[in-house]
Amino acid sequence: MIILPVERRTFKARLILGLIYLVLTLGAVTMVWPFLMMVTGSMTNRYDYRRYSPVLRSLWNAEDRFMRVLAVFHPSFPRETFPDAPAHWMSWAVVAREPDAVRTFVRPWLDGLEDSETAARWERMARDYADFNASYDVRNSVCTYDERDIAPYVRRVFEERTGNRGPEVALAELNRVWDIRYASFYGIRMRAQARVPLHYPDWDWPTDDPKTDLWQDFKAYLRGRTPGMAYTRTRPYRIAPLWDRWRERHALPAARFPGDAADPDWQRFVSEAYPKRLLRVTVCPESTALWQAWVARQCRTPEAYATLTGNPVPASLADVPLHAYENSTLWRGFVGTLPLRLLTATSPEAEWQTFLKTRYGTLDALNAAYGTAAADWRDVPLPAAQAYVITYRDDGLALLLRDVTANYRTILDALFLRGSAFGNTVILVLLTLLATLTVNPLAAYALSRFSLRRTETILLFLLATMAFPAAVTAIPGFMLIRELGLLNTFAALVLPTVANGLSIFILKGFFDGLPRELYEAAAIDGANEWQIFRHITLPMTTPILAVNALNAFVAAYNSWEWALLVCQRQSHWTLSVWMYQLSQQFAGSPWVVMAGFVIISVPTAIVFLLCQRVIMRGIVLPSMK
């Protein structure tokens, strides 16, 4: 429809133009909206990823930012830290869907920060919690780690062990020490170590596992990563919830933790359910005699004792010393036979109370400092909630910005700082463009310029290759590349895409429409065939070649199936192959994968924006001819 300038002032013309602009605007929104959702998704975490929103609410909403930063420290909502939260808040996806409940829950904490006296008390509690956590045994602490932090830490550790000779050498050393096979550091997971049964009575940390030893070092690293921060990923594992659950299971009334030594329920709890790695034996003649009798019954020979404990072979079983704590099955079995009077039940809560007694001296002084009315030291819990609130006040914005950009740092480190992935991609794209801009025009020119006997058959054959999906041609293509001995080479990536049937068909049609007088005039002037092609024909096809080059660039840049099939060596992998690997490794963290998609799409978007005018000419020109 064509509207003349004199008609544009009429109501009908304006209505039509308005509808056209409205449709175009809606079309633009449908394209921009998903892109904004992808960009926003790349800056989220487990709390707000499933909102599928084009804006990041935590950047301007204080209550949402409070929960978003809390999700940095916890894979699920920390009910033990905030027991007053709604009972159905089990996962962050559920929490994020209830903005009104979030506002009701967070607002009292934010209001408390605005009150100077309350904030001062919370700051004192947070400082005590940080000092206690820094001195507590890291082996009895839990760690809610972030998978994005594992690979850089492990790589740095093994690079230092190997004298900083590169990530490949460090990875080989890791596989040797751990007796495992990792293709990259980003394949490392510490899920088994993070989910160890710290509550199980007879469980203790293995003594001969180098991965577990590194996990303990990693927990200590996270705890001291940000000096001065009260709330960290590594925190003491509390036993009080285990005591409460045990009493509920046995239909017993609530009681303080630790319980009274004379209480039969407490004695039964210690003997049945208390983690034995937290029990300490009082070393005295009575317990030593019981220990040696236990060893004699269980071991029979000194060699058996050494096998069960990992200790040196003793001269005699009667001389085996008793230790207050020992990480062995024999020792844990012995502890289960001792009366409570010969045992000391250690726990973070008990050590916290000892810490407070040392720092404040009296319960009255503690109540004055904390603004509480505790009647017993056992009534003062670990102030994890206050420690987090103060951490949010002091470092909340920095933690948020660090978490927003963490996905991009992970992807950039994995893609562009990993071996030669970026260089391989550049080489592949350049070789593909060079082949596309030479082979296709030459083939189309030959089919158009010279009267070949089987021109139609050749064109039909070229177009027939487009009738089969890539999955069908992958197997014969792989077998051909293997027979030619080209596996794990750039030739295997470039050669199958050198000739494109559609490009040759379009170029031939364009060449057929050129006036023959051009060729005759050039021949009269003495130009040879190459000069005619180079100086006359080729410059007229620049827009079409630009479109072909863009299609070749997109195909080469995004192709990972064929690249992964013919190049199993990681040294030849491109960015798209590594991105596919990362999408598998971070399947449980889709926000990281989303950041990778954003980064990978940037070169294609830049090329399209820079070449869109030439592309439009390449689309319009063939139809005009």
Q: What is the pLDDT of residues 281-337, one digit of tens each?
A: 999 999 999 999 999 888 888 888 888 888 888 888 888 889 999 999 899 999 989
Q: Cα dist. 107→81, 100, 392 in Å?
A: 17, 11, 13
Q: What is the pLDDT of residue 218?
A: 94
Domain coordinates in residue numbering, the chain: 5-41, 258-371, 419-624
Find, among 355, 353, 345, 325, the residue nearest to 134 by Cα. Answer: 355
pLDDT at 616 (0 to 100): 63
Q: Which CATH superfamily, name and number, covers 419-624?
A: MetI-like (1.10.3720.10)
Q: What angle do CA 137, 141, 146 make, to 5 degrees?
A: 130
Residue 236 tokens read as 């003491």
Mean pLDDT of 133-148: 90
Q: What is the DSSP letter of 488?
A: T
Q: What is the mean pLDDT of residues 440-461?
A: 80
Residue 108 — very low, low, confident or very high, per pLDDT cuts 50/70/90? Answer: very high
Residue whose entry in the numeric block shows the structure tokens 């103060």: 390
pLDDT of residue 417: 63
Residue range 105-121: mean pLDDT, rounded: 94
Count the Cβ atoms, other than its own, within 10 Å of residue 44. 26
Residue 624 has pLDDT above 50, yes or no: no
Digit-coded pLDDT (tens) for 487-546: 888 888 888 877 777 788 888 888 877 777 777 787 887 778 888 887 778 777 777 788
List the structure tokens of 420.
């030669």
For residue 473, is pLDDT > 80? no
Q: Where are the beta strands (DSSP E) in 216-341?
A: 234-236, 279-281
Phi, psi (degrees; rounded to nearest 5) at 284:
-150, 170
Over residues 348-372, the mean pLDDT reads: 93
Which residues touch 32 (CB under 8 Å, ≥6 apart)? none
Q: What is the C-alpha to C-alpha distance for residues 432 and 312, in angstroms, rounded to an integer?
A: 66
527 close to 535: Cβ distance less than 8 angstroms? yes
- Cβ-in-10-Å burial (0-12, 13-18, 19+) of 315 comes to exposed
Residue 456 has pLDDT above 60, yes or no: yes
Does residue 1 have a pLDDT over 60? no
The most confident of the ranges 29-33, 143-147, 359-363 is: 359-363
Antiparallel, parallel or unpaired: β 279-281 and 234-236: unpaired
Mean pLDDT to the nearest integer, 456-463:
77
What SS3 state is found at 354?
helix
Rounded CA separation 561/366 (Å):
65
Q: pLDDT per residue over 372-388, tens digit each?
A: 999 999 999 999 999 99
| 424 pLDDT higher than 80 | yes
Residue with tokens 């630009």: 546
Q: Is the pLDDT confidence value at 617 over 70?
A: no
Query: What is the average pLDDT across 158-162?
Result: 93
Rounded to a whole number of angstroms, the distance between the first and last alpha carbons of the chain is 22
pLDDT at 455 over 80: no
DSSP states along 583-594: HHHTTT-HHHHH
